[in-house]
Amino acid sequence: MLETEALRRALARAPRVVRVVVADTRGSTPREVGAAMLVGAEGLLHGTIGGGTLEHEAIARARGLARHPGPDQVQTQALGPDLGQCCGGAVTLFHETWDAAKLAGVEGDVIARPLPGAPDEMPFAVTRLLATARAQGVPPKAGLHEGWLIEPLARPERELWIWGAGHVGRALVSVIAPLPGLAITWVDTAPERFPDQIPEGVTMLPAADPARLMPHAPPHAEHLILTYSHQLDLALCDAALRRGFGFCGLIGSASKWARFRSRLAALGHEPARIAGISCPIGQPELGKHPQEIAVGVACELLTTTARKEAMGGRTA
- Which range marks the domain in which residue 17 is found? 2-153
- The total number of structural domains in the chain stands at 2
> Within a 10 A sphere around the Cβ of 231, how many other Cβ atoms?
8
- 316 part of a folded domain: no
SS3 assignment, position 152: strand
Is 231 within the bounds of a domain? yes
- Could you give the percent of the chain with pLDDT greater than 70? 93
With contact defined as beta carbons under 8 Å apart, do 174 and 294 qualify? yes
Which of 134, 153, 172 is the endpoint of a domain?
Answer: 153
Residue 31 shares a structural domain with residue 168: no
**Structure confidence by residue, pLDDT tens digits, 139-197:** 899 999 999 999 998 766 788 999 999 999 999 999 999 887 788 999 999 999 999 99
Tell me: do 171 and 127 sit in the same domain: no
> Is the pLDDT reported for residue 315 higher than 70?
no
Indicate left, alpha or beta for 40 from its phi (over 0: left) and psi (-120 to 50: alpha).
beta
DSSP character for 142? Answer: P
**149 and 117 assigned to the same domain:** yes
CATH of the domain at 218: 3.40.50.720
Which residue, of 121, 153, 185, is where some domain finishes?
153
Q: Which residues pair with 203 in a beta bridge?
A: 185
Confidence grade of residue 310 (pLDDT, cut at 50, 70, 90): low
Write the pLDDT tens digit of every residue in 258-303. Answer: 999 999 999 999 999 999 999 988 888 888 899 999 999 889 888 8
Same domain, residue pair 34 and 148: yes
Does one domain contain both 284 and 201?
A: yes
